[in-house]
Copies of this chain bind each other. A is one copy, B any other.
Amino acid sequence: MFELIGNIAAVLTTAAFFPQVIRTWKTKSTDDMSWSWLLMLTIGVFLWLIYGISNSLLPVTAANGVTFLCLSVLVYIKTSNFLARR
């Protein structure tokens, strides 16, 4: 039972970033996102990815791999906005 809860949690916390990436891609607006949040989360998720690969934990690897890609898109858009304003 609790494994199921863990799997649902992993899917939700990963899939959650899809609508956020779609919204941000459409609006190109990232002002409400804190740079610290975005960079800390992206680095943290990348480390979870390394942790998952090195321990052969497929769920951790898959979930954080997908989340890392989503966060990279957000970092790209927020960086583009920053450079465009300089």
Contacts from A to B (Cβ < 8 Å):
2, 5-6, 8-17, 19-20, 22-24, 27, 29-38, 40-41, 43-45, 47-48, 50-51, 54-55
Contacts and interface: CB of A to CB of B under 8 A. Distances in A.
A34 B55 CA distance: 33
A50 B5 contact: yes
A54 B16 contact: no
Dominant SS at the A interface? helix
26 contacts: A2-B55, A5-B51, A5-B54, A6-B47, A6-B51, A8-B44, A8-B47, A9-B50, A9-B51, A10-B44, A12-B40, A12-B44, A13-B44, A13-B48, A14-B44, A16-B44, A17-B37, A20-B36, A22-B34, A23-B34, A23-B37, A24-B32, A29-B31, A29-B32, A31-B32, A32-B33
A31 B45 CA distance: 24
